[in-house]
Amino acid sequence: MAKQESLVPLKMLLFSFHATNTIILSFLPLYLAYKGLNGTEIGWVLAIGPLASIFAQPFWGYLSDKYKTVKRILLICITGLLIFSTVFFQMNSLISIMFMGAVFYFFTTPIGGLGDSLAQRRADELGVSFGTIRTWGSIGFALSSLIIGEILSRYGVQYMIWPYLFFGFIALLVVTRLKDVKVETDPVKLKDVGILIKNKGFLFFLLAIIFLSVGHRTNDSYIGLYISELGGSEALVGLGWFVGVASEALVFALAGLWFRKLKTLVFVLIAGVLYSIRWFVYGALDDPMYVIGLQFLHGITFGVFYLAALDYVTRLIPKHLQSTGHLVYYAVFFGISGIIGSLSGGAIMDHFGGGTLYTILGCVSLVGTGAMFIYHVMFSKVKATSY
């Protein structure tokens, strides 16, 4: 019981942060459209977050490893989230929105990665499944998307800052109760980061991940606009996210039953194939209710893919570089892929529509699945124990 009680603040942090995250992912594109931005301009703003994360993730991860603390870095980042989100939502011109967005995202983007890194380490310490901890982030995301979607549908997307700040303050309160990670190794030095850069397996794996995660990140940014394009309301956008993340929470919660039944990369390959099928089907739909009905595939694709990939990365990098390695992985998954998806997705939707966008995403995911298969063949003999 004591072990489980020690995880309560961590589970609450994941719950509250991902509740804020769903507000940004689900409704920021609609909020920007309310502000008068077109699809291409929305793409520019959405690309700022992933761009900031490429620098922010390794920066905060390095500081976390150097000072051997995740808790204090989380405290700094969540404080920044509250301060700069307030300023960000006051901006009206495209330039000011993009500038303050960069500052805002610099503090917010590492929080998910640091939280997951801490959860992965605490799970290893206590001998429990990472998925049973991480599922609380998915529950927060799902409930927030459903409730906030209904609220914004009734009162207007322009009021999204208030529920965002509400969950942000909860995250700030619970982070003070976190049990920090214990690291017995010497503090990481900047030159140690070169170990990651020289790890060819790690770099090739990240390259393959880009192709698979581009579709996921593009969908994160534009599914709300796609549902709206097909005639859906803010409430339906929230419902779509609820269905998707509820299935994700179920996959994480049951990870102890299915995970490690197969080799880790087999799960990644299965998720890649399902991603491809999912995007092709989305591209052929003409009713928002069909999109919402098929959102259960989000859990099977992202849930399986993310859990397996993070576990693989954990065993691929040295223990004293865990935070740095996790956040580099996060920067690729949510950063580089997010930039590509945001910029290209907005332009494609503007000129060709959402159906064409999802068909292209299906093709990109097929390439990613092929790249991951090549990686599996190339490195299976070298890293057999990690597969």
CATH of the domain at 326: 1.20.1250.20
Contact between 41 and 95 under an 8 Å Cβ cutoff? The reply is: no
> What is the value of pTM for the model shown?
0.76
Structural domains in the chain (count): 1
Q: How far apart are alpha carbons 282 and 354 in whole angstroms? A: 9
Structure-token pair, residue 23: 């507000």
Specify the DSSP element, H or E, that contains 214.
helix 200-229
Question: Ranked by mean pLDDT, which of 186-200, 244-258, 351-365 comes out on top?
Answer: 351-365
CA distance 199 to 382: 12
pLDDT at 42 over 90: no
Beta strands in 115-227 (DSSP E): none
Provide the pLDDT for residue 332.
83
**3 state SS for 351-386:** HHCHHHHHHHHHHHHHHHHHHHHHHHHHHCCCCHHH
Q: Which among 290, 172, 185, 309 is positioned nearest to 240, based on CA atoms? A: 290
pLDDT of residue 248: 86
Residue 380, pLDDT score? 56
Residue 385 has pLDDT above 50, yes or no: no
Report pLDDT digits (tens) over 315-334.
Answer: 777 777 777 777 778 778 87
CA distance 276 to 273: 5
Compute the distance between CA of residue 274 and CA of residue 251 in angstroms, rounded to an integer. 15
Average pLDDT for the chain: 85
SS3 of residue 230 by DSSP = coil
Q: Which residue has the higher pLDDT, 204 or 384?
A: 204
Q: Can you tell me the distance from the alpha carbon of 152 to that of 149, in angstroms, rounded to the nearest whole number?
A: 5
Give the mean model confidence (pLDDT) for residues 269-277.
Answer: 94
Report residue 184's pLDDT band, with 50, 70 and 90 as the boundaries: low
Using 50, 70 and 90 to split pLDDT, how confident is the model at 2?
very low
Q: Is the pLDDT of residue 349 over 60?
A: yes
Average pLDDT over residues 228-247: 86
Nearest to 321, CA basis, from 125, 117, 56, 128: 117
Region 266-275: what's the mean pLDDT? 92
Q: Could you tell me which of 182, 178, 191, 190 has the C-alpha nearest to residue 69? A: 182
Establish how many alpha carbons lie within 13 A of residue 176's alpha carbon, considering only the half-sphere containing its beta carbon.
5
Between residues 183 and 322, the one the model is more confident about: 322
Grade residue 186 by pLDDT with cuts at 50, 70 and 90. low
Which residue range is the domain that position 320 belongs to?
2-386
